[in-house]
Amino acid sequence: MAEIILTDETFENEVLNSDKPVIVDFFATWCAPCSILAPILEEVAKDYADSVKVCKMDVDKCPVTSMAFKIESIPTLISFNNGKMTDMVVGFTGKERIVEMIGK
């Protein structure tokens, strides 16, 4: 499964109501570290397609959700399981840490 692009309107259904664990990448198109992280997340989305959803949320286009989760720096990755936040990483991170998030 490819990454899912979220909006403020689709966040609840895609993330909080998901039957799978979810990792949300809060990013912006102008953010250099976000661009470097993107192919890593694409790889994780393909490698773990059966067990996790990987979603992206552009903070410039989705201010309501970004403010609700107090996103102040990007990239920020948040993992959710059963509608609850389970882990957060602020700033660039490697594939190993993202895989660790999946396990929580």
- Point out the residues that are catalytic: 31, 34
The residue whose two tokens read 């890593």 is: 40
**Total count of residues recorded for the chain:** 104
Q: What is the 3-state secondary structure (H, E, C) of 81-103?
A: ECCEEEEEEECCCCHHHHHHHHC
